[in-house]
Structure 1
Amino acid sequence: MTEERTSLWGGRFAGGPAEALARLSVSVQFDWRLAPYDIAASRAHARVLAAAGLLDPDELGRMLAALDDLEAACASGEFRPTVDDEDVHTALERGLLERLGALGGKLRAGRSRNDQVATDLRMYLRDHARGVAGRLVELADALVEQAERHVDTPAPGMTHVQHAQPVSFGHWLLAHVQPLLRDLDRLRDWDARAAISPLGSGALAGSSLPLDPAAVAHELGFRAPAPNSMDAVADRDFVAEFLFVTALIGVHLSRLGEEVVLWTSTEFGWAELDDAFATGSSIMPQKKNADIAELARGKSGRLVGGLVAVLTMLKGLPLTYDRDMQEDKEPAFDAVDTLQLLLPALAGMISTMTVRVDRLVAAAPVGFSLATEVADWLVRRGVPFRDAHEITGRLVALCAARECELEDVTDDDLKTVSEHLDPSVREVLSVRSALAARTTFGSTGPGPVAEQLATVQHRLDSWREWAIETVVPR
């Protein structure tokens, strides 16, 4: 067993780094989670070294056995990084040297930490993107299950947080599923671009050794090796793009959270959270707080912040690798951790939420939300919409002055407002008729909502398969 401090550099230096430099440079406290991916990449690299004649069959066998043993020791916690390990690569080389002695040092031939870390981080994010996708599907499932129960539940649809037109509450819930489906699409689109292997690019110029980057890429689940070695080690588009996707997921979760906060407030009273997914007050015994929804709003800030941090770090970097790029990992890891923590809580909150149908039904027609039905009724009778809008506006003004609803006006009132209005307009002055009239694709009527449900469920089924797909060899 070696007793010397392991370092991947230093031959030209007369002494070790100053403590301040060492403390600033160290990253193993956060990049240790890349260990399984680094070991998988080391296996692939060992095989191409053997294919190039740089390891004989016995050496390859011993190398692979040692990597397997090291992986098991890392997983069990038997092997851990120490305060002297600069990063995950240094720690793992120490572990390999402890098992193989000088033979362990042969693995470093033809590769650099520059292409190693770029490869490891791609593998990690591709793996965990599928985990995030699985959690998104769970939240979408919870919204879909609630939507199925409320296809025929009317609600006051809003613009500007003002009553606008009646909608199906199921339609409203499905409106939150659609951005999640787009997020899932973005994750898969991102994955296609991230599936390029940097390993074999070395520090920046490739290698003079007869290695096979394509074989490494194939073994590690990538679709191809990087076409330019300089770009391969300099590229962090895959991190920035991943953080954009997670930031946008955060924004979507924040908007859902804000609506739940409104729905569960005393002023709205449209929904009640299950006790298991709400909190209380330390001073006010009556409180039931939507903390999960509020944390969804709050945590969107750190997801957006991670994206901004990485974009700002990258914007002025010359090619190729610069140490600034050490700052790419913590925001990426934090985005994964944040969503893995937040999404199950949101899914549980939504799936156990009780919708107050009686209050939604009562609120649906309030605020003259059927006014557009009157205007459309006039249009069907040949009145230009510009005139229909004016006529309906005058009818609303009359009702507002009298503090009554549209259906409360008399026949004489209708004639007073416009010669085009007559008692038959009452046939459209119900929430049910307003919803039933919405028959076009994507609208809020029972038929289109049922079609949307079927489509959404089919799409989610396909995402379930992608979310459990294995792309990184174990």
Structure 2
Amino acid sequence: MAKLWGGRFDDCIDPVLEKLNSSINTDQRLWRVDIKGSKAYAKGLKDINLLTQEEENEIQKGLDNIYDEWENEKFAIQLSDEDIHTAIERRLKEMIGPETGGKLHTGRSRNDQVSNDMRLYIRHEMYPKLSLILSLLLQGLKNRANQYILISKDETTNKPLIFPGYTHLQRAQPVAFSHWILSYAWPFKRDLDKLKYIVSQEPWGISTLSLGSGAIAGNPLKGFDRIKLAKELDFQHCSLNSMDATSDRDFIMDILYWASIVGIHLSRLSEDLILYSTKEFGYIILPDKYTTGSSLMPQKKNPDSLELIRGKSAILISNCNALLVILKGLPSTYNKDLQDDKRLLFDSFDILLSSLKIMVGIIDAFEVNEDRCYNALSPDMLATDLAYYLVNKGLPFRDAHHVSGKVVNFAEKNLTTIDKIDLKDLKNINPLFEKDVINIWNYVNSVEQYKAIGGTGTSSILSQINVLDQYLIDK
């Protein structure tokens, strides 16, 4: 079949180049939005009398039939179909005839068509799925945090689940298990907010119509109304420079960078879950359906799902970097280098969606070994509380920090723990120590003193959960 652009050529394209030039295997997933844009464009051509009402009806019906073929997996791709735009136009001509079908592309280029399709795809295909799965992850994190705010270890005790908080991977201070879970809810909430802004609110990029820009110079059709076309496709703005519109991929860069950040958040959460599920930590037990075994060692239960998420985050970053490198040396307007923007975008979308789905399942199903969490607490983690005790006695914090360090040093040299040091020995270190120092050796009291906004105390955690509750309701 003759190429759409083949009129000025005498020789056929080299088969190797034809294969390299073809993007139909990648961009066929644009079929819904390509048809959506074409239907709206046909209305615009009818409005300026370049299509009769009968011709527009034929085109609309033909596009509807093509939609049904794709929907029912009956659309037959041919070797001559370079891309999704070529395939749909070819099929339309087959259905309604080349004379009427050939009019649809009047004033339109694949340059502005693909740019517009990508914007539509992000808005109508990617955004709903990614925003939904991020909301489900937020809901899951919130639910698990709520589960461990107050738990009963026996009939007379009701206290939050507490375990070690870490800095530099060293035990630092006691924190509520719920506080740790929520420390990942907030990054994913930011991710959800940023996605909404990128897709719906920014005054450029994804919310801007590029269709009607032609190949480079714009649309020459007298009376063609791009503002009406933008409204028809639910865009907030029209591009104001046709040369910029056909080459702009900033909106894809926004999404790829955003996906990289989400990937980093997923990777860090994965790392925590991997560590906490090891025999050495033992705080959590991963569900069987998200783990695998060893072909040699029968006892193994490997966190492959989390390791894959952690590894895939590198690909998200590399996809972002790849498009940056593609763009950095291009001259103005469209260049074929941009064909790979779709592969990078779709790959990142697929990776992110599957990673988020897996993480939702893990968060909902992992078990917590409460005893291991409590048993991992050690009195030296209350050294900061000891310093605060002295601060409340009037000692400046830097001096109190120094004294608390001496207490830790004394305990280490005497092969004991700081809570077992006699009051007499404590007084020898600093006379401000009194009998009430015994109240320091309580992990629940330690956690609950952090009542200020953002702290690990129960009141602060409840406040965090309330904010997330309202956010998810409003969303």
Same fold per TM (> 0.5)?
yes
Shift of 1:422: 2.2
Which of residues 194, 209, 223 is equivalent to 2:236?
A: 223
Instruction: State the shift of 1:207 in Å.
Output: 1.4
Question: CA-to-partner distance for each residue in 1:313-367, whole Å, 9 max, x for gaps?
Answer: 001111111111001011100111112211111111111111111111121335x
2:115 pairs with 1:118 = yes
1:469 maps to none
User: Which residue, 86, 89, 98 being the options, matches 1:93?
Assistant: 89
- Say if 2:291 is the partner of 1:283: no
Greater mean deviation of Cα atoms: 386-395 or 404-413: 404-413
Which stretch shows the higher mean deviation, 18-27 or 173-182? 18-27
Aligned counterpart for 1:153 among listed residues 153, 161, 171: 161
For residue 466 of structure 1, what is the aligned residue in structure 2?
Answer: none
Structure 2 CA distance for aligned equivalents of residues 345 and 282 of structure 1: 23
Displacement of 1:460 in angstroms is 2.3
Matched, 1:254 2:254: no
* Aligned residue among 424, 441, 449 for 1:412: 424
SS at match of 1:140: helix
1:400 paired with 2:387, answer no
2:136 to 135, 138, 145: 138
What's the CA shift for 1:404?
A: 2.1
Question: Which SS does the other structure have where 2:164 is aligned?
Answer: strand
- TM-score normalized by structure 2? 0.95
Judge which range, 271-280 or 351-360, deviates more: 271-280
Tell me whether 1:54 sits opposite 2:50 in the alignment: yes
Please give the per-residue CA displacement for 1:113-147, whole angstroms capped at 9, x wherever unaligned.
Answer: 00000000111112212211111111222211111
SS for the counterpart of 2:103 is helix
> Are residue 107 (structure 1) and residue 104 (structure 2) matched?
yes
- Would you say the 8 A contact 1:365–1:431 is kept in 2? no
Could you tell me the TM-score, scaled by structure 1's length?
Answer: 0.95
Q: Deviations 1:374-418 (Å, cap 9, x if unpaired)?
A: 111111111011100100000011112223222111111111211
Distance in 2 between residues matched to 1:365 and 1:136, nearest whole Å: 36
1:270 Cα deviation (Å)? 0.3
Q: Secondary structure at the match of 2:381?
A: coil
Distance in 1 between the 2:235 and 2:352 partners? 25
Is 2:160 the partner of 1:162?
A: no
Q: How far apart are the structure 2 equivalents of 1:420 and 1:293? A: 49
Runs of 4+ in 1 over 6 A off after TM superposition: none
**Structure 1 CA distance, aligned partners of 2:438 and 2:246?**
70
Q: Find 1:187's aligned residue among 173, 188, 195.
A: 195
Q: Which has the higher contact order (CA 8 A, sep 6+)?
A: 1
TM-superposed CA distance for 1:53, in Å, is 0.6
Further displaced range: 57-66 or 214-223: 214-223
Give the fraction of aligned pairs with identical amino acids, expressed as a percent. 38
Residue 230 of structure 1 deviates from its aligned partner by 1.2
- Equivalent residue letter for 2:185: V
3-state SS, counterpart of residue 45 of structure 2? helix
State the secondary structure of the residue aligned to 1:107. Answer: coil
Q: Which amino acid aligns with 1:340?
A: L
- Distance across 2 between alignment mates of 1:183 and 1:29: 30
Secondary structure in structure 2 of the residue aligned to 1:434: helix
**Partner of 1:196 in structure 2?**
208
> Counterpart of 2:153?
none
Deviations 1:219-249 (A, max 9, x none): 1121121121111111000111100000110
Pick aligned residue for 1:77 from 73, 78, 81: 73
Query: Which residue matches 1:19?
Result: 15
In structure 1, the residue matched to 2:330 is 317
Correspondence for 1:214 among 201, 219, 227: 227
CA distance in structure 2 between the partners assigned to 1:284 and 1:173 by the alignment:
32
Q: 1:158–1:165: 8 Å Cα contact kept in structure 2?
A: yes
Structure 1: gaps (5+ residues): 464-474
For structure 1, which segment, 42-51 or 356-365, has the greater mean C-alpha deviation from structure 2 after superposition? 356-365
Rounded to whole Å, the distance in 1 between the matches of 2:109 and 2:442 is 71
